[in-house]
Amino acid sequence: MKGARQVIESLIKENVDYMFGYPGGVLIPIFHELFDSPIKFILSRHEQGAIHAADGYARATGKPGICIATSGPGATNIITGLATAHMDSVPLVVITGQVSTEMIGNDAFQEADVTGITRPVTKHNYLVQDIHDLARIIKEAFYIATTGRPGPVLIDIPVNISNTDCEYNYEKPVDLRGYKPVYEGHPVQIKKAAKMISEAKKPVIYSGGGVILGNASKELTEFAKKTGIPVTTTLLGLGAFPETDELSLEMLGMHGTYYANHAVNESDLLIAIGARFDDRVTGKIAQFIPNARVIHIDIDPASVSKNVIVDIPIVGDCKLILQELINITEKPDITPWIDEIRQMKLTHPLYYDSESPNLKPQYVVERIYEITKGDAIIATEVGQNQMWAAQFYKFSKPRTFISSGGLGTMGFGLPAAIGAQLGVPGKRVINIAGDGSIQMNIQELIVAVQHRLPVIIAILNNGFLGMVRQWQQLFYDKRYSQTCIKCAPDFVKLAEAYGAVGIRVEDKAGVDDAIKQALAITDRPIVIDFVVEKEENVYPFVPAGGTVKDTILRELA
Amino acid sequence: MEQYVLSVKVENRTGVLARVVGLFSARGYNIDSLSVSKTEDIDVSIITIVVHGDDRVIEQVKKQLNKLIDVIKVYDHTEIPSAQREIAIVKIQLTPAKRVEVFQIAQTFGAEIIDISQKALSLEVVGHPSKVENFIEIIRNYGIKELIRSGRISFARDRA
Ligand SMILES: Cc1ncc(C[n+]2csc(CCOP(=O)(O)OP(=O)(O)O)c2C)c(N)n1
């Protein structure tokens, strides 16, 4: 069987339904085979759009996202997408075309050293040099991408390999002696953890993206309920535990709730699950959790004791480990602690000036939450829009918040929303965007139009690269160097030009109608241009390298 | 910063070395010495890395090395009993007057003469890095024209 055919056969065997990508010269043999295959191909308008869409699909469905790009510029266009997925541990299998094996290294037309360029931003990558390795490599790629700590795996396929025949065998089991993820947690460690938890006076669960990746939300919720321990999540952990639950402290970190950061800071035991103590969470590391012991449950041994010294590390699958803990942990006696937290929630709630007559971005997010009853999938861009979405939409289910956390990639949200909508056709997908970010991959709007996807793009249009402007305002004397972007396209006309629906909202009164109008449309994307308060800031704000004591709670008068 | 000796067992494949050293360069670490070669199993190579670094960073690098798919196992030879070896070849100016002296030094270190001419002498010394270091320091007095050193290899001794 020809290499190109083997690629498609293997994808079918892996139950791939959607594939995202863009063709090119060295890929023609593979696209030739795709032509009449059952795989649905989503043609992006820029390879970056394709890989973010595959990423959004993967985050929303839990299945690996599949992306294909041509050699040279096609491949270099997906680097940001690889890095985005790598940082957030998203399973992707990415195929790139390469020049013919005998040309490699000669600066051939559209040649780039793709395995070299992508090495630091992939979990693993391959250059196929022999047709006899192709099927094995594809099988390994799926295995590596989806097991252990997931991540993107890239396969670089030279065009002559695609055109060469050999016997095809996809049945051989994967055998990698250097890769044996550990799933079972060490029983002694689990016992020690259970004891430490039952003796804690001020415990907090700090839950990260790993709980969602590990499909352990149910177990997390059960564990928290059984022990009565409050839960805070990271940005990527949103949805793993219902934010509407009284045990929820919502998000922690730089723009987390004051009560989450306060509770973590005061805690005597931090139970980290599938989280990696990122600097946006810890702030000044030396002063983070001064009184706490730490239990860290993570599938990745390299995450443990990386940034924070851990008392009880438990390496393994958080779902299995939580099941064990649910069975053996006794409920700690923490009534005073719960009272203290309840008090803190009352005295330091998430705040914005909801009385203001102006159109506040937070208000828009709140209304989206209320009107969708919290049942939508929210994809965000990066910046203030991302933080307001995280703060004011209350997430209750895993895989409903889709955002570039680790890399913070502007331009991620729209294509990711498209991928999510394809993967989860039964839910409404809303891209909460900034007027800056949305322009980074706006060309993907046509993909939503083409496939009649009712993605809603809610632009919180503040005329600024708002998050950077906020830092300039607070720390750089309001010198708004290159962050004012009021020279912008008319987003309503732009939507219409693409064949989408465009709606503009300039005051509070119009918000509900616009959201309802958008939700009523089911056959094309809708862009809502919310012209919001220009210099609104995100609070609370723990400045970079600060501690909870440095929190800025609201605008200083 | 302390010196670490890591012995990394890897799949003998293209790209593996780049992955391994990439983890050091990405952290701004300069590798002091490196050697790579096949083992008793033709599919397996051992990479021996000598590097100076901060304790926590090296711990992290070791974990990251273990995460690489093509890395079979990482051994830290920094503090375990191991036989460590390097080779150095030095070419020195040879004035007849110094000849006997140099030969004596060579003999003491078990260095082998690998080339000799009217004006120059090339010596090869093999052994523990400190021995090689000592030899070079002493021979330096005679005017080194050329010096080349191998990467270190390290072999863990069986423990009783
Ligand atoms: C690709 C990329 N370039 C630059 C940045 C740096 N950055 C972070 S937030 C931000 C501003 C985003 O502006 P906008 O999309 O309008 O959102 P807002 O903060 O106003 O909601 C910038 C430039 C980034 N995160 N990603």
Residue A486 CB-density burial (10 A; 0-12 exposed, 13-18 middle, 19+ buried): exposed
Question: How many angstroms separate the CA atoms of B140 and A471, rounded?
Answer: 58
Å between A457 CA and nearest CA of chain B? 38
* Residue-range domains of chain A with CATH: 3-162 (3.40.50.970), 187-347 (3.40.50.1220), 361-538 (3.40.50.970)
Residue A313 pairs with which residues in a beta bridge? A296
pLDDT at A154 over 70: yes
A174 in B contact zone (CB under 8 Å): no
Q: Give the β-pairing of B2-11 and A501-505.
A: unpaired
Distance between CA atoms of B52 and B35, rounded to whole angstroms?
Answer: 16
Give the pLDDT band (50/70/90) at residue A138. Answer: very high
Per residue in A28-76, pLDDT (tens digit) is: 999 999 999 999 999 999 999 999 999 999 999 999 999 999 999 999 9
A400 touches A456 (CB < 8 A): no
The whole-number pLDDT of residue B27 equals 87
* ipTM of model over 0.85: yes
pTM for the whole thing?
A: 0.96
User: Is the distance from CB of B69 to CB of A176 less than 8 angstroms?
Assistant: yes
* pLDDT attached to residue B51: 94
**A179, A307, A310, A315, best to mutate vs chain B, most B CBs in 10 Å:** A179
Chain B CA closest to residue A306: B60
Residues B47-70: tens digit of each pLDDT = 999 999 988 889 999 999 999 999
CB contact under 8 A, B69 and A306: no
CB of A76 within 8 Å of a chain B CB? The answer is no
Backbone phi, then psi, for A190, in 5-degree steps? -65, -40
| Inter-chain touch B71–A176, beta carbons under 8 Å | no
Average pLDDT over residues A333-356: 96
User: Ligand 1: which residue has its CA nearest to atom 17?
Assistant: A434
Show the domains of chain B with their CATH numbers. Answer: 2-76 (3.30.70.260), 83-156 (3.30.70.1150)
Compare all CA atoms of chain A with the CA of B65 and give the residue at the minimum distance: A302
**Where residue B160 falls among pLDDT bands split at 50, 70, 90?**
low
DSSP characters over A452-489: T---EEEEEE-SB-HHHHHHHHHHSTT--TTTB--S--
The protein residue whose alpha carbon is closest to atom 13 in ligand 1 is: A465
What's the pLDDT at A557?
60
The CA-atom distances, in angstroms, between A222 and each of A61, A226, A273, A329, A334 are 22, 6, 14, 12, 17
Please indicate whether, in this complex, the C-beta atoms of B59 and A305 are within 8 angstroms of each other.
Answer: yes
Express each pLDDT in B89-141 by its tens digit: 999 988 888 888 999 999 999 999 999 988 899 999 999 999 999 999 999 99
**Can you tell me the mean pLDDT for A497-524?**
98
